[in-house]
Chains A and B, each alone.
Chain A
Amino acid sequence: GQQLNQSPQSMFIQEGEDVSMNCTSSSIFNTWLWYKQDPGEGPVLLIALYKAGELTSNGRLTAQFGITRKDSFLNISASIPSDVGIYFCAGRRNTGTASKLTFGTGTRLQVTL
């Protein structure tokens, strides 16, 4: 199945640094979601975006729905050790809630003290 391209693939940063990651697609999506997955667990929703250009924050996390509808960005400010995990973007083409999500390839984040 199709996947969205996420970059970077992995990041090693120091505690307190800011993090940026993005997700791109060759086709348009109407919804963008960002998830975090800890080892051995299911993904947990971080931020949902529904309109092109939308900028939404959740604590230290900020995500944007790209104007072209083909990309999205996630920023984490002042990283802490518990930010460690894999971050996935996911896009939905149709507006119906029963429509499928396509997942990105993931960004693995490591935070050092």
Chain B
Amino acid sequence: GAVVSQHPSWVICKSGTSVKIECRSLDFQATTMFWYRQFPKQSLMLMATSNEGSKATYEQGVEKDKFLINHASLTLSTLTVTSAHPEDSSFYICSANDPGKNTGELFFGEGSRLTVL
């Protein structure tokens, strides 16, 4: 089946630094990828839709200048948390459809746990 992979799986950083998370589609090309955030014991909340070759679309309340998204190729989208603060600590998960299957099924990466000290 389709595989989506994220890196790193966990990261700890100091407050004020920036952190980049990568999301790759391993066996298909994804023109669109989705970035979600999940706080402990809560559901997944969509942050933004990453579009290959164009600007990302951000959900209401998500700061585009803080969460920079780059979808430079059909297999890679990156999320950069800029000037991270403790309240940004969360589980970040990316996902993508396999357009070759056209089933609408969304496959998720393993997730990246960010802890900001």
Interface residues of A (CB under 8 A from B): 1, 3, 31, 33, 35, 40-45, 48, 50, 88, 90, 92, 95, 97-98, 100-106
Looking at the complex, which one of B42, B61, B107 makes contact with A45 (CB distance below 8 Å)? B107
Pick from B4, B32, B60, B106: contact of A1, CB under 8 Å? B60
| CB <8 Å contact, B105 and A1 | no
Q: Interface of B with A (CB < 8 Å)? A: 4, 6, 31-32, 34, 42-46, 49, 59-61, 91, 93, 95, 97, 99, 102-111, 113
**B43 & A45 in contact (Cβ 8 Å cutoff):** no
A98 and chain B: residue at smallest CB distance: B32
19 contacts between A and B (CB under 8 A): A1-B59, A1-B60, A1-B61, A3-B45, A31-B104, A33-B104, A35-B108, A41-B110, A48-B103, A88-B43, A88-B44, A97-B99, A97-B102, A97-B103, A98-B49, A98-B97, A101-B46, A105-B43, A106-B42
Let me know if B43 and A101 touch, CB within 8 A: no
Nearest CB of chain B from residue A51's CB, rounded to whole Å: 12
- Which of B61, B91, B97, B106 is in CB contact (< 8 Å) with A90? B106
A100, B104: Cβ atoms under 8 Å?
Answer: no
Asked if residues A33 and B110 are in contact (CB atoms below 8 Å), the reply is: no
Cα of A102 to Cα of B104 in the assembled complex, Å: 13
CA distance A38 to B97 in the complex (A): 21
Chain B contacts of A97 at CB under 8 A?
32, 97, 99, 102-104
- The answer to whether B110 and A42 have CB atoms under 8 Å apart is yes
Q: Which B residues are CB-close (under 8 A) to A45?
A: 105-107
Which B residues touch A44, using CB under 8 A?
108
Q: Which residues of A contact B107 (CB under 8 A)?
A: 45
Contact B113 A43 (CB under 8 A): no
What CA separation (Å) do A72 and B60 show in the bound complex? 27
